[in-house]
Amino acid sequence: MSVDSSMSDQHDDFSFHHLTPERIADALAAVGVDPQSGLLALNSYENRVYQFMADDNRRYVAKFYRPARWTDAQILEEHQFTQELLDEEVPAVAPLILAGATLHHYEGYRFAVFPSVGGRAVEPGDLDQLERIGRQIGRLHAVAKQRQFTTRPNVSYQEYVTDALATLSTSSLLPNNLHDAFFAIAEPLANHLQQFDLNAFTQQRLHGDCHLGNMLLRDEQLMFVDFDDARTGPAIQDLWMMLAGDDRAERTLQLDVLLEGYQEFCDFDNKETQLIEPLRSFRIIHYMAWLARRWGDSAFQRAFPWFAEQRYWEQQVLTLKEQFAALQEPPIQLQPQY
């Protein structure tokens, strides 16, 4: 990302300082919602998200979008996708239609209101749970394949690697004494990743950030939340983050079980297993750049204080070396029935 873009992000971060409780209440009142309780800030950094009780004695969540991150059309595509999932009885959280719309504007802010859905976090569990998760992702993808996004971005090398490394190359958060060591491994890793053409695989709508933290158990039902990173890409992007541990045999078994559930509802192209480690590399690099771009937002400095520490960047050099080694290994081979 260019320096100008980084400066723009910092300006956007600063604008959240003007999102006062009074302004939030006024914005909600403008769409006919009357909070009767205090605003409880939920665990969100990219946007600002608040839970409250309304005058109908029900709990709701108001999500105020980070300025300039998405266009209105891109946000509305996210809303449409979640509503399609609900219409097909796939558990997901979709925004409410208020005053005839799901996306609202108030004094320069854009926001949406959602029902508050209680539930407990999904913990890494046994293989039976992994098969169940596979079924739910399969159901999600069966709906996702029925249409395509027209405005939301694709998972791409340009955004996740090229732009991300450009941001890190000019970031003051990367210690000077580690700059050469970091790029001595980051650059060959980036060059190696260029050989993986994501467009050679079937492209579809995705949750985009499908990990256990974005799933809830409610009444023993698995529910998807937070579609803020929804985008287009290969199906494996919504599956690989469910694999845990460093043991290759164990991860192979996990993927077999995950796909056993998945393929009850959706076909899977076995060739996509070769994208697991490249996509993991994409995520590692992109995550560092995301934190660097958002560092002007005090919420990030409070939540991720270790990002500015020397030992974090020392560990990242090791992580990139390990990831480069992982890319040299053959991809996971699935059982013949797949």
Burial (Cβ within 10 Å: 0-12, 13-18, ≥19) of residue 145: middle
Catalytic residue among 226, 228, 238, 297: 226
CATH number at residue 95: 3.30.200.70
- The reply to whether 51 and 168 lie within a common domain is no
Q: Is 47 annotated as a binding residue?
A: no
Q: Specify whether the CB–CB gap between 226 and 150 falls below 8 A.
A: no
pLDDT at 178 over 90: yes
User: Same structural domain for residues 173 and 246?
Assistant: yes
Of 86, 117, 148, which residue is a domain's last? Answer: 117
Question: 204 with 235: CB under 8 angstroms?
Answer: yes
pLDDT computed for residue 338 by the predictor: 42
Q: What's the pLDDT band for 188 if we cut at 50, 70, 90? A: very high
113 and 132 co-located in one domain: no
| Chain mean position to CA 133 | 17
| Cα–Cα dist 252/154, whole Å | 27
DSSP one-letter string for 218-249: ETTEEEE---TT-EEE-GGGGTGGG--SS-HH
Q: Is 55 contained in some domain? A: yes
Last residue of a domain, one of 61, 88, 117: 117
Say yes or no: 113 and 133 in one domain. no
Spell out the residues 6+ positions from residue 265 whose beta carbon is closer than 8 angstroms to its own: 135, 138, 139, 141, 142
- pLDDT of 247 reads 86
What is the model's pTM? 0.91
226 is in an annotated binding site: yes
Q: Are residues 177 and 85 in the same domain?
A: no
134 in the same domain as 106: no
Three-state secondary-structure class, residue 93: coil
Same domain membership, residue 308 and residue 215: yes
Cβ density class 176-208: b for 16+ within 10 Å, e for less:
eeeeeebbebbeebbeebeebebeebebbbbbb
In a domain, 1, yes or no: no
209 is catalytic: yes
Q: Domain of residue 320: give its range.
A: 127-328
With respect to residue 220, please indicate whether it lies within any of the assigned structural domains.
yes
Please check whether residue 32 lies inside any domain of the structure.
yes
From 117, 141, 174, the end of a domain falls on: 117
Total domains in the chain come to 2
DSSP string computed for 102-120? SSEEETTEEEEEEE----E
Considering the domain boundaries, does residue 2 fall inside one?
A: no
Active site residue 226: yes
8 located within any domain: no
Q: What is the pLDDT of residues 264-276, one digit of tens each?
A: 999 999 999 999 9
Residues 41, 169, single domain; the answer is no
pLDDT at 119 over 90: no
Q: Quote the pLDDT of residue 17.
A: 83
For residue 328, the model assigns a pLDDT of 94
Q: Kindly state whether residue 98 falls inside one of the protein's structural domains.
A: yes
Average the pLDDT over 291-303 and give the result: 92
In this prediction, residue 4 carries a pLDDT of 33
pLDDT for res 336: 61
Answer whether 160's CB lies under 8 Å from 114's CB.
no
The overall average pLDDT reported for the chain is 92
On whether residue 87 sits in a domain, the answer given is yes
Each residue of 67-103: pLDDT tens digit?
989 999 999 999 999 999 999 999 999 999 999 999 9
Average pLDDT over residues 246-266: 93
In this structure, the answer to whether residues 183 and 287 fall within a common structural domain is yes
102 and 137 housed in the same domain: no
- Angstrom distance (rounded) from CA 200 to CA 134: 24
322 Cβ partners below 8 Å, 6+ apart? Answer: none
Same domain, 318 and 274: yes
Q: Is the pLDDT of residue 322 over 70?
A: yes
Residue 287 sits in a domain whose CATH number is 1.10.510.10
Residue 196, SS3? coil
Q: Say yes or no: 136 and 53 in one domain.
A: no
Does residue 313 register a pLDDT over 80? yes
Tokens 């719309």 map to which residue? 101
pLDDT above 70 as % of the chain: 94
Write the DSSP string, 182-194. HHHHHHHHHHHHT
